[in-house]
Amino acid sequence: MKKRILIPTDFSKNAWNALNYATTLYKDEECTFFLLNAYQLYHFTTDSIITPEPGEKSFEEAKATSEKGLEDLLDGLQSTADNSRHTFEMISVYNNVLNAVKEIIKSKEINLVVMGTKGEGNPMNALYGSNAVTIIENVKKCPILVIPEISKSPEVAKAEIVFATNFKYYYKRRELATLVDIASKLNAPIRILNINGDRKITDEQEGNKELLTEYFEGIDHSFHTLTNISVAPGIHAFMESRSSTILALYNRKHGFFSALFTSSLVKELSESPQFPILVLQEHH
């Protein structure tokens, strides 16, 4: 079955880099990429009492700009990285980015969202960069891979994935499937980082740790602990010391992830992240 990947774009360089990262990562796999441009008009939002209607000049101009941008994007992609395994669908919609992403994940049965962190800042488009954290916090049914502006192609860098966890939660195998898939594609080891290492882990945590060993069978992986350091600085210090290339986090509504994303990592994610971040989602 073809993998179905959603790429939100505002036609910025960062969005282009995210698209290239995704097509390179999945170059050997049959995929359909959905290229989404969600646009809004200056002075209007989708929550406005008065909204522009189809047929009005401002609406039609914005729609034409969006559709032309998607066509140019596809032309550029096919001229630089034509791949017979990949098909592309263009989606231009008047909406805010979060609502558009949620609707398409559901209607198109998306397996993965790949997006950049910095947008053009064009008021006619939704500000994708400012929405990166909002999308991560509010999209609960699909993994998200966030690509920073400075990220190298997955083929260029020798990959190493850091999976940050405190072993407090039972993971279902399917919740970690995207992590395992990406590690296999990149031939990347997974370094499991316990950043709550000032206490002895409980029997329940030990059981969850053993589950990870089972799930990561066949993949080079190891366990690491940091003590006497807070979460965000600890993750960054660990990754910088090893030149790790991807950070994986588990998005649980109430728990480790939500605590982490009230920290300084939010600012870094939205402004100048140093590495791709894979956000895995809780399955109910």
- What number of other Cβ atoms are within 10 A of residue 284's Cβ? 7
Flag whether 67 is in a domain. yes
- Domain co-membership, 114 together with 44: yes
- Domain co-membership, 8 together with 115: yes
With beta carbons less than 8 A apart as the criterion, state whether 123 and 129 touch.
Answer: no
- Domain co-membership, 13 together with 138: yes
The CA radius of gyration of the chain, in Å to the nearest whole number, is 19
User: What is d(CA 227, CA 210) in angstroms, rounded to the nearest whole number?
Assistant: 21
pLDDT attached to residue 141: 85
DSSP 171-223: PPGGGGHHHHHHHHHHT--EEEEES-TTSPPPHHHHHHHHHHHHHTTTS-EEE
- Domain co-membership, 62 together with 172: no
Flag whether 175 is in a domain. yes
Q: Write the pLDDT tens digit of every residue in 97-110.
A: 999 999 999 999 99
- Domain co-membership, 74 together with 168: no
Q: Which of 147, 169, 197 is the last residue of a domain?
A: 147
User: What is d(CA 268, CA 270) in angstroms, rounded to the nearest whole number?
Assistant: 5
Q: How confident is the model at residue 137 (pLDDT cuts 50, 70, 90)?
A: confident
- Domain co-membership, 189 together with 236: yes
Greater model confidence, 10 or 112: 112
Q: How confident is the model at residue 156 (pLDDT cuts 50, 70, 90)?
A: low
- Domain co-membership, 171 together with 86: no
User: What is d(CA 141, CA 34) in angstroms, rounded to the nearest whole number?
Assistant: 17
Q: How confident is the model at residue 284 (pLDDT cuts 50, 70, 90)?
A: low
Q: Which of 147, 180, 196 is the last residue of a domain?
A: 147
Query: For residue 18, what are the contacts with CB-CB under 8 A and spacing of at least 6?
Result: 7, 9, 114, 115, 116, 147
In sequence order, what are the beta bridge partners of 112?
A: 5
Q: Write the pLDDT tens digit of every residue in 213-249.
A: 999 999 999 999 988 887 778 888 899 899 899 999 8
Average pLDDT estimate for 161-170: 89
Flag whether 91 is in a domain. yes
Flag whether 155 is in a domain. no
pLDDT attached to residue 282: 80
- Domain co-membership, 105 together with 216: no
Q: What are the C-alpha distances in Å from 105 to residues 113, 118, 131, 142?
A: 8, 21, 16, 7
Flag whether 19 is in a domain. yes
pLDDT attached to residue 281: 87
Residue 196 sits in a domain whose CATH number is 3.40.50.620
List the structure tokens of 7. Answer: 């790429």
pLDDT attached to residue 263: 44
- Domain co-membership, 71 together with 129: yes
Flag whether 156 is in a domain. no
- The one-letter amino acid at 74: L
Average pLDDT estimate for 73-101: 90
Q: Write the pLDDT tens digit of every residue in 52-66.
A: 666 677 788 888 888
Is residue 110 exposed (0-12), middle (13-18) or buried (19+ Cβ within 10 Å)? buried
Q: Which of 147, 173, 206 is the last residue of a domain?
A: 147
List strands edge to edge, sheet with 277-281: 86-94, 31-39, 3-8, 112-116, 144-147, 277-281, 246-251, 161-165, 190-194, 221-225
- Domain co-membership, 230 together with 270: yes
Q: Write the pLDDT tens digit of every residue in 35-54.
A: 999 988 765 555 555 566 66
The residue segments making up the domain with residue 99 are: 3-147
- Domain co-membership, 201 together with 269: yes
- Domain co-membership, 191 together with 237: yes
Closest CA to 256 of 148, 141, 171: 171
Domain count, the chain: 2
Closest CA to 226 of 190, 247, 198: 198
